[in-house]
Amino acid sequence: MTSREPITVLHARIVSGTGGGPEKTILNSPRHLVGTRYRALAAYLHAPGDAGIEILRERAAARECPFTALADAWPIDIGTLRALAELCRRENVRIWHGHDYKSNLYGILLAKLVDVRLVTTMHGWVKHTSRTPFYFAVDRWCLRRYEQVAAVSRDLFDAALAAGVAPERVVQIDNAIDTREFVRRAPANTSALRRAHPERLVIGAVGRLSNEKGFDILIEAVERCLVHGLDLELWIAGEGDQQQHLEARMRASKYHDRLRLLGFQKDTLALFEAFDVFALSSLREGLPNVVLEAMAMDVPVVATRCGGLSAFGRDEQDMLLVDVNSVAALERGIACLARDPELRTRLAHAARARIERELSFTARMQKMVALYDRLELT
């Protein structure tokens, strides 16, 4: 390899549906490496027939991210391993960058077949199932065998150390936002999405519709605010296995006309622009991209002290933090913001300034380049 040839990084991840927060990091990475000695590609493993992969393919194209999708039906598939090895050879991949337990395991197996160095990003485990303890165990085993581990929040940094990763191999690189893309261009009450009732405050939430997101708690907290006469609506955007349950929960509510389940939303920028308040009710999180996006979009945030947010959030400075799994605490936080427009403005402006100062995507990729450089590739 000559000094002018780029070093190729392959981001690998297993995904269902349209994915989540990690996709915003992975698909944005290649264009932010332009001008460095690295180039990046993405390879996504998905269940056969999962239509969400085509949406991810479109998003990758829009972000100029070279994208490969591989149907992967089994826990470990020799055919998938061979396809990944061929991709690595064809694209001259030097760095395998895993993003979950399965891509981490495939990376270790591939390192026996092709000459790749091993890097992974820990995004956090939030969705718990009966198989989660097994996945945890596999991931811990893998992490100890990776050369560099990036954790997106302080709690995950600590978890890597607890899993036995050597301290010199772990670095905290927080999630970040493309501040050129995520910027508010109009007041919330002028949004076309709010034509019916522009005067009502909109409490917004975005995320996978699953238990760990605490949307039942959020719905009840908003209902209590409505009982006390606050003029607001709740909009929840996302898809997932709790969709039917949440739809039924909203239909049964006395305030069903103030509760909206929006499903998958392609234009998240327009959605954030329509929000007056962003509410995160999660029981478990790392450092969620949706909170950073809300901050970048000048939307004041009320969030639970879960996972990485307990260390990241600055209560009453750039967001309001409330107790996890508490309807009363979340109600108080929402009501406080709903009643105080000056507080909303102050928190929103402080949050946007912090994103620009500390959490721009450009700055994040500079840290990632430094991590790759530590591999001392020649």
Q: Tens of pLDDT along 303-321?
A: 999 988 999 999 999 999 9
- For residue 120, what are the β-bridge partners? 98, 149
pLDDT (tens digit, 9 = 90+) per residue, 230-280?
999 999 999 999 999 999 999 999 999 999 999 999 899 999 999 999 999
Under 8 Å between Cβ of 121 and 368: no
Query: 336 by DSSP, 3-state: which?
Result: helix
* Residue range 17-39: mean pLDDT, rounded: 93
Provide the CATH topology of domain 188-358.
Answer: Rossmann fold (3.40.50)
Q: Is residue 166 packed enough to be buried (19+ CB in 10 Å), middle (13-18) or exposed (0-12)?
A: exposed
Residues 39/11, Cβ–Cβ less than 8 Å = no
CA 194 to chain centre: 26
User: Which residue has 């990084």 as its token pair?
Assistant: 9
Strand-strand pairing, 277-280 and 259-263:
unpaired
In this chain, the answer to whether the domains covering 7-176+360-373 and 188-358 adopt an identical fold is: yes
d(CA 63, CA 222): 36
Task: Give the homologous superfamily in CATH for domain 7-176+360-373.
Answer: Glycogen Phosphorylase B; (3.40.50.2000)
Q: Which two tokens stand for residue 304?
A: 């639970």
Q: Does the pLDDT value for residue 126 go beyond 90?
A: no
- pLDDT (tens digit per residue) in 169-211: 999 999 999 999 999 999 999 999 999 999 999 999 999 999 9
Tokens representing residue 19 in the block: 């994915």
The pTM for the full model equals 0.86
Handedness of CA 16, 17, 21, 23 (dihedral sign): positive
Q: Percent of the chain having pLDDT more than 70?
A: 97
Please report, for the chain, the start and end positions of each structural domain, with discontinuous segments joined by +.
7-176+360-373, 188-358
